[in-house]
Structure 1
Amino acid sequence: MKANVGGVDRVLRIVLGAGLILAALSGQIGAWGWLGVVPLLTGVFRFCPAYLPFGLRTCERK
């Protein structure tokens, strides 16, 4: 897996994912908040499979 998520995109994914999970745990939103696992993991691992078919990258090439 080559990294294709970087910089601001990565931070936003981690913050959004953690926020959704915390909101689900606190009961503020329903079980759909657990979908926050997806952006959280794509931010942590710096890889988004949805970017592959479109050839998108938000990180610098080495």
Structure 2
Amino acid sequence: MVIGRSDEAGAKSVRNLPGVHILAPDQLNTYDVLRADDVVFSVEALNAYIAANTTTSEEVSA
């Protein structure tokens, strides 16, 4: 599960579930995605992930 760093309630709600791995958007990598059966994003985390990758790709193409 990918959640924002400021989402303490989200982290507390899933941290005791077996088989659930909690990551921040900037920690997500290829290994985690390929190893997981499902990847669940919070809205905050998805927006942060998209914003970070959009900025990176714009900097590379410039």
- The answer, yes or no, to whether TM exceeds 0.5 is no
Return the structure number with greater relative CO, CA threshold 8 A, min gap 6.
1
Give the TM-score normalised by structure 1. 0.28
The two structures have a TM-score, normalised by structure 2, of 0.28
From the two aligned structures, give the one with the greater helix fraction: 1
